[in-house]
Structures are given as C-alpha cells and as structure tokens.
Amino acid sequence: MNNTFKASYAVLALVVSSALNADVLPSYQTNSAWYTDAQNSINKKLNSNNQFKAKNVIIFVGDGMGVSTLTAARILQGQQAGNNGEEGYLSFETFPHTALVKTYNVDAQTPDSAGTMTAMMSGLKTDVGVIGVDEDIVRGDCSTVAGNEVVSALELAEIKGLSTGIVSTARITHATPAATFAKSADRNWEDISDMPEDAVTGGCKDIADQLVNFEANLEARFKGVDVNGIEVVMGGGRRHFLPKDASFNSSDAVSEVEGDRTDERDLTAEWQSQYSNGVYVMDQAGFDAINTESTERVMGLFNESHMQYEADRQNDIAGEPSIAEMTSKAIDILDNNDQGFFLMVESGRIDHGHHAGSAYNALTDTIALSDAVKAAVEKTDPNETLILVTADHGHVFTIAGYPKRGNPILGKVVGIGSDKPATASDGLPYTTLGYTNGNGMHDLGSETNADAGYSEEINAGRQDLTNVDTTASGFHQEALIPMSSETHSGEDIALHAQGPGAQLVQGVVEQSVVFHLIEQSLDLIQE
C-alpha cells in the first residue's frame, strides 16, 4: 500500500467512523446537556489561543483555596442562584487549561503562605515563614538575609518597564502580597515593632518599610536600573504604616491606638512625599473618587488590619471596596501603560475563614474571588493577557457523607430518597462539610465575622446539631482534633489559566513552575 493510498484510506476511515458514531449514538445521548457540555469543553481546549507571549499577566491567589473549597464554593454559588449547585462552575473553572500544583516547602510537608508564594514569585522553593529569600536563610536571623535574596516576577516586570500592582483583602504586608516585593527573614516582621532588636540593629527593614521604599531598594540592588515603583497597592494593614500615636488614628480605627510603629514614622506620609502624583485612600468614598484615566498610582489601605470578610463588608465603618472592585480599578490604572502590566490579586480571607472553622466565610470569599476573575476577564483581551488563578495551599476541609443531589452544601446530610437528616452511629445528625482539626462547632446565628469564633472556648468533637441551623452565616463546623486554629493541608492545589502561554499549564507541577509560566509569557529575563 503506497503512501498516497494510505492517506486516502485514513481519511475515508475517519469519515466512515464519524458516520457510524452518529448513527450508533442515540439522539437522547448526543442531545444531552452532559454530552454537549463535555464536547464544548473539548472544543474550547482545541481552539484555545496558540500564542505564547502576553502583554499583561494577572495572577489571582486564593489563599487556602484547596480543591474541596472550589467544589463547595461552586455548589454554594449555584444554590444561592436557586439551582442544585453541583452542575455549575466558578468563573475561572471554565478556563481551557488546568494543572495540579505541589505545595510543600523545602523544610515542610504541609506549607505556609510565605514559602509557597515565594516559590510562585521567584521560581524556587524555600522554607516556611521566610519571604523573598532562598532556603539557605535561617528564619529570624537578619544576618542570613544578605546574599540569599531572590528576584520576584514583580521586580522583573518593573525592570522591564511594565506597570505593576498588588491587591489583597489581607494586610498588604501579609505573607502572600509581601512575597512580591519584600525580602525578610521572618514573615511576621510586618513593621518595626514586630522585629527583635538585633534584626533592627543588623540593618534589616520591616515589610511595610520595604513596600514604601520599593523603588529605591530595587535600584540600590541593581546598579544602573531605573524603575518608577509599584503603581497600585490596595489592601489592609494600615496599622503597620502608622506610628503608635493616637493622633494618627484613621476615621475607622477600631483600636484605641491604631498604629503599631515604634519608630514614630508615618509611612503613608512618606509614600505621598515620594510620589506627588500618587493618591492615598483609606475608605470607599476615597476609592470611588479615583479617576483611573488621570491617576498614575494609588495606595489604598482600607483597614487597620485585614480587610473585612466579604459577608461582613457591609459592617465596615468607613466602607471597603470589594475584591472585584479593586481588581477592576487596578486594571484601569495599570493598562494606561502601553508596554503592559503585571498584577497580583490575593483573596486572603478565604484562608482566615478556614482557620476560624467557618466554611460560610471561606466559601463566600471564594465566590467573591470568582467575581473578581470574571471582572478581569471582561476588562482584558484574551489574546494579550495571561490570567492565572491558583492557591498557595489548601486546608483540612472535607466534603463527606452521602447527601442527595442539591442538598444544601452548608446543611446537614440528607440521603437520597429521604427528607430527614441522616444520623451517624452515635444517633446524631452531621454536616456535609467539616474540618479535621480546629476550634470546633460554634452556633453564632447571623454573625458574619468568622473571627468572632475565637472568643469562644474550643468545642471540638461531636455535637448535637439537631436543633442547629448549620446554614446560618455564624455556624462553625465540627472539628475532630481540638486546636486553637484550624491548619493548612498538604495536598495539591489547582492552577487554572487562559491567554497566551496558558497552554503550558498542564499535568502535575512544582509550585515554582508558576514563576516560569509568568516569566516566559512576559519575557522578563532578557538573554
């Protein structure tokens, strides 16, 4: 059989095969939503952008957003819309490319955010609790920082002339956002009052100081480099920028003395003096007033500590923008640069909701992140913007039992064919969602602040939930092992991607690969 005949035969066989398949499969199968949705999913992957180079990169990090969190959040989102829930998707779960990411730190099987985010921002893994440095450092030892600093994707983007931005619902000096710009022997050195005396005298700078002086620090490290500094900084953590003096309190301060700094410095004022073209805001009104066409840079510090949980945001004294609003405004400012931009957006309070044992808060913040990703997709061109959505680690959060389809994800398990809660071997009902460890069950009714649970005594182990509304915002799930705070988990997390270079997101990868995806897409390292 010659090659021409072989080729013709192959084409004919494919046509015959397709015809046979069309005839063999019944219409109720091929017309089923399950069938057509799956085929559309495959077609989307086949037709996805084949370009590898991007003008912009946006990376979203759902802190603590493990796979079980994604599943439960998508179900809750669907049920809030009046559907069964299981059939839905979070906005980024429809992206054409997905990978699983290994999260361990160099010295830890179950990681923390400092080590994991450093891996994503620098391309190498490091130890628990250290930021922007390699594994050769000794945590808490200032003298080991020099010579072990790593370069972050945000720093490389600045050097290339791109605009840069950092958005977080946590303190902007917290581990995940800090890993984009800081070098620290300890993630807890958020301001000078958090540092031991030997670290201060040894020349190490606190994380808030490093943020305000980012431009000067980067230029000092790389002689001949001229950068213009981070254009967008939005998040919480105002206390780390203000002196420990009540006269500097903001209008929405909740502490008698809002600031923590013991060096008498007001870093918000220092930032404004450095950038006469910059706008400093601290509430919703100030945020809303920003003109994104004319504003060159913004520092927004919207809370003394972390920003509010999404469910509790309406209770903020001065008002706080949502993560979707911050993302949209950041993009509107950053895309004024024709060369492109790099933006990191963290939903930090997913993690805090889980630590507090509140699935309601963790899932509500996950849905808010999904809304932020949707906003970013709508504001950018998929042919020029790579969007990555991932987590730094997961939590010991489970979806268990055998609830029937559409059973409230926050509710008690009700089995298939039943309308009454199932009971365990101890005769008590149980919830679909639960934690392996943590503070345990609390029934706080309509409370929307997950952290309120910390004022309660640890209540781990089995509880009688017969007369408890487990779907209420103030309900905290049962936990098996008593601990003051629920812990991270060590399993893989997901990475979703669309845009130029997204097709490289596949398989099971080390967390450090995320940096290389960003770098190759933006060509940050010039040969």
Q: pLDDT truncated to tens, each residue of the chain (527 aa)?
A: 455 434 443 433 433 344 444 567 667 666 877 667 777 876 776 666 668 999 999 999 999 999 999 999 999 999 999 999 999 999 999 999 999 999 999 999 999 999 999 999 999 999 999 999 999 999 999 999 999 999 999 999 999 999 999 999 999 999 999 999 999 999 999 999 999 999 999 999 999 999 999 999 999 999 999 999 999 999 999 999 999 999 999 999 999 999 999 999 999 999 999 999 999 999 999 999 999 999 999 999 999 999 999 999 999 999 999 999 999 999 999 999 999 999 999 999 999 999 999 999 999 999 999 999 999 999 999 999 999 999 999 999 999 999 999 999 999 999 999 999 999 999 999 999 999 999 999 999 999 999 999 999 999 999 999 999 999 999 999 999 999 999 999 999 999 999 999 999 999 999 999 999 999 999 998 75
Feature table: binding site? 63, 174, 176, 346, 351, 355, 392-393, 488
Task: Pick the catalytic residue from 113, 163, 250, 370.
Answer: 113
Binding residues for Mg(2+) are: 63, 174, 176, 346
Separation between Cα atoms, residue 91 and residue 82, nearest integer Å: 17
Question: DSSP string of 124-193?
Answer: S---TT-BSB-TTS-TT-GGGTTT-B---HHHHHHHHT-EEEEEEEEETTSHHHHTTT--BS-TT-SSGG
Query: What domains appear along the chain, each with residue ranges and CATH number?
Result: 56-396+487-522 (3.40.720.10)
pLDDT of residue 39: 75
Query: With the CA atoms of 127, 132, 134 and 136 taken in that order, what torsion angle do they form, in degrees rounded to the nearest 10?
Result: -80
Contact between 450 and 358 (Cβ < 8 Å) = yes
User: Where does residue 108 rank: exposed (0-12), middle (13-18), buried (19+ CB within 10 A)?
Assistant: middle
DSSP state of 470: T
What's the pLDDT at 42? Answer: 67
Of 232, 240, 509, give the one whose Cα is nearest residue 390. 509
Query: Which segments within 208-327 are labelled E, that is strand?
Result: 232-236, 278-281, 297-301
- Report the alpha-carbon distance of residue 485 to residue 443 in Å, rounded: 17
Closest by alpha carbon to 441, among 420, 412, 471, 461?
461
Query: What pLDDT is attached to residue 31?
Result: 80
pLDDT of residue 24: 77
- Indicate the annotated binding residues for Zn(2+): 63, 351, 355, 392-393, 488
417 sits in the region (left: phi over 0; alpha: psi -120 to 50; else beta) called left
pTM of the model: 0.93
Task: Tell me how far apart the alpha carbons of residues 447 and 359 are, in angstroms, rounded to a whole number.
Answer: 13
What is the pLDDT at residue 46? 66
Alpha carbon distances (Å) from 84 to 12, 40, 69, 77, 477: 44, 22, 17, 10, 22
Distance CA 350, CA 362 (A): 4
DSSP E strand boundaries for 28-121: 56-62, 97-102
Answer yes or no: 113 catalytic. Answer: yes
Do residues 346 and 63 make contact, with C-beta atoms less than 8 angstroms apart?
yes
Q: At what angle do helices 153-160 and 513-522 cross, to 10 degrees?
A: 10
